Structure 1
């Protein structure tokens, strides 16, 4: 894996943290996330217009991934509703790299060396350690967050296999995001009998911009998994939690405690291990 791929995946992590920060600051997260998926779908239209169709073998994975993304979105909203952002986000993102590595080994036959496993493990441990369990008797929030992480792992492995079969990762990403823009919108309109528009135009613009960020962020990841092992890319991508902690401290007034600083150092060391032994 080249340094250019590593740098782009880290940029994707920053974009991912940014659109999640936008979602966190929203009053109606379901409406905001629905608008984000719509924005991503609209931004993906040129990708499907100006690229060749994915190979036939990839369409099963595109449709399956769109279904898994819908499940991820719904559980993400649930995790944010019943748990703190500082708890839910690290658990969801931190649990996925190891799950992706295991899934890629089982379903795609990927073999990773010991250094890669160490790097993935450090990133996962560091990310999960950022979570703060306020009430250890109430595990509904952490369970929802872990389920979200399982969905992340499932669609990452699905997209890793599908993008490699598609013949063109950009075309694969375009069709995935176009299809993914429909389910959440239909669910929202069925629940609320209205379009997912906020009363403030600024919030609508921010949500649509967040959708474009999510397209760029995950489009880079889909491209990267055609060039490198899925577990490695997933671990590097989940350094988004490191960026989220910094964004929270700088822009959202969240405390950057010693525990969080130590966790960030562990994440950074894991990313360095992955980069040095690529």
Structure 2
């Protein structure tokens, strides 16, 4: 993995942790999630003025990606409504690279070096250990863990689909821009049907999250989508999960969530795995 791709994905990880913290820290998590997703649309429209349109061959991937991203957002919202950022976020993100690596090697026939496989395993296993973390009130939270793992399955699925689609499209940013617009419209439709008052409140109560969270989320995944075209999808997905480090720091210092040795251990393993990925090739 080149230095440029490596630091682009690290930057995406920081942005990703930041918008997740905005959603988790918001009083109305449905409003926050809706604002972030709808907030993709202005930047996506702007991006389309500067990049080529994706090739028609990528349309099936685009349609599938839209559905998977929406499913991811729904289950992430459920997870955040039931658990702490420092439990939900790492478990959802940590399970995804293991699933992606397994699918890439077994189904897609992607060759990964032994050191790369070891790095992915270290990152994924270390983060998944956070399933043992207790809630802020000191109790176990299997419900949040279940929702987080389902979220991880959606992350793995859309990562593979988006990675393949970006490569076929010939324009990774154009591919993601159209996906983001469709996803934003789908979220607005969902809110209009299920939570009409929440949709009406976004321009007043959620404008900061729409602009800042939506902007951070769009840029983060635009970087990741581009990275999918430059390096194996499994490696990009695993490296992106270094966002656990940023999420842990935000959760502890800004959201006042508890810190324990298991979280520190998981973070250390994530950093070790990231370093191994950097120097594996």
Pairwise TM-score range, normalised by the shorter structure? over 0.9
Aligned to 1:37: 37
- Of residues 148, 168, 172, the one that matches 2:171 is 168
- Give the distance between the partners of 1:106 and 1:198, measured in 2 at CA: 46
Aligned to 2:87: 87
- Give the distance between the partners of 1:248 and 1:85, measured in 2 at CA: 6
SS of the counterpart of 1:90? helix
CA RMSD of aligned residues (A): 1.8
Aligned to 1:55: 55
Deviation at 1:51, TM superposition (A): 2.1
SS of the counterpart of 1:112? coil
SS of the counterpart of 1:149? helix
Q: Note if contact 1:90-1:129 (Cα within 8 Å) is conserved in structure 2.
A: no
- Of residues 254, 258, 277, the one that matches 1:255 is 258
Structure 2, unpaired ranges of 5+: none
Per-residue Cα deviation, 1:229-270 (whole angstroms, up to 9, x for no partner): 111111110111111111222222233323222221111100
Aligned to 1:18: 18
Deviation at 1:85, TM superposition (A): 2.6
1:191 paired to 2:194: yes
SS of the counterpart of 2:265? helix
Q: Note if contact 1:10-1:239 (Cα within 8 Å) is conserved in structure 2.
A: yes
- Give the distance between the partners of 2:51 and 2:3, measured in 1 at CA: 27
| 1:73-152 matches, cutoff 5 A | 73-131=73-131, 132-133=133-134, 139-152=142-155
Deviation at 1:200, TM superposition (A): 8.7
TM-score by length of 1: 0.93
TM-score by length of 2: 0.93
Structure 1, unpaired ranges of 5+: none
Count the aligned residue pairs.
277
- Give the distance between the partners of 1:81 and 1:193, measured in 2 at CA: 19
Aligned to 2:236: 233
